[in-house]
Chain A
């Protein structure tokens, strides 16, 4: 079946530094990947999504590029802010047309002053 792997459980950084959160996936379908962000005591919200190979997609200063050759969709930001502290999930759609998502375990990003 489908699977999503996020290798880091916790990433701690100082404000202003760049970040990359890893996401790799396995699927037999044509991949459609998502990044969701969940701030403390809030609902998860969509950050960005893509199904286009080798095309960078951006939103709110975050960006990611789907690389089908390496089955990856890493999330990056050039300069993290305190407000970026949150739980980040990578998710893969199953291709059924009903958007059943398989989520990774999530990465907590903690940004310090």
Chain B
């Protein structure tokens, strides 16, 4: 088996601040994803990456950047934190195709 780790578990920032969330997986999966989970709105895709150094925008990419410098890691940057984007950010990885996505435990973002 494998595991996905996300750091930090809790992230507190000031409005307008640039914040980075990190994700590591040891499944050796090619495809990785970043989702935002808001209460009552399900999971929405921010960015995904099908291989090292590839980046694809999801439905919610505005206000975010991503980076995939290694196959095992995928970072998400909130370019200017806003109070209305306080949420849980989930990282996932998959073999692609129609394979199962494995999720990390999440990073909870609070903006003051």
Question: Does more than half of chain B's interface fall in helix, strand or loop, or is it mixed?
Answer: loop
Residue A100 at the B interface, CB < 8 A? yes
* Known pairs A51-B98, A98-B31, A99-B94; A44 contacts B42 (CB<8 A): no
Shortest Cβ gap from A106 to chain B (Å): 5
Kindly provide the distance from the CB of B43 to the nearest chain A CB, expressed in whole angstroms.
4
Query: Which of B4, B50, B105 is A98 in contact with, Cβ under 8 Å?
Result: B50
Min CB distance B32 to A, Å, is 10
Interface size counted on chain A using CB atoms at 8 A: 21
Q: Let me know if A89 and B105 touch, CB within 8 A.
A: no
Number of A-B contacts (CB under 8 A): 51
Tell me the chain B residues, 64-112 only, with Cβ under 8 Å from chain A: 90, 94, 96-101, 103-106
A11 at the A/B interface (Cβ < 8 Å)?
no
B40 touches A97 (CB 8 A): no
A40 at the interface (CB under 8 A from B): no
Enumerate chain B residues within 8 angstroms of A100, measured Cβ to Cβ: 45, 48, 58
Chain A contacts for B101, CB-based, 8 A: 46, 99, 101
Q: Add 10 more A-B contacts to A32-B98, A43-B103 (CB < 8 A).
A: A42-B105, A43-B90, A46-B100, A91-B43, A93-B98, A98-B50, A99-B31, A99-B99, A105-B42, A106-B40
Residue ranges of A at the interface with B (Cβ–Cβ < 8 Å): 9, 32, 42-46, 49, 51, 89, 91, 93, 97-101, 103-106
> What is B's interface to A at a CB cutoff of 8 Å?
4, 31, 40-45, 48, 50, 56, 58, 90, 94, 96-101, 103-106
Sample (9) of A-B pairs whose CB atoms are under 8 Å apart: A9-B40, A43-B4, A43-B104, A89-B42, A93-B98, A97-B97, A99-B96, A101-B45, A103-B44
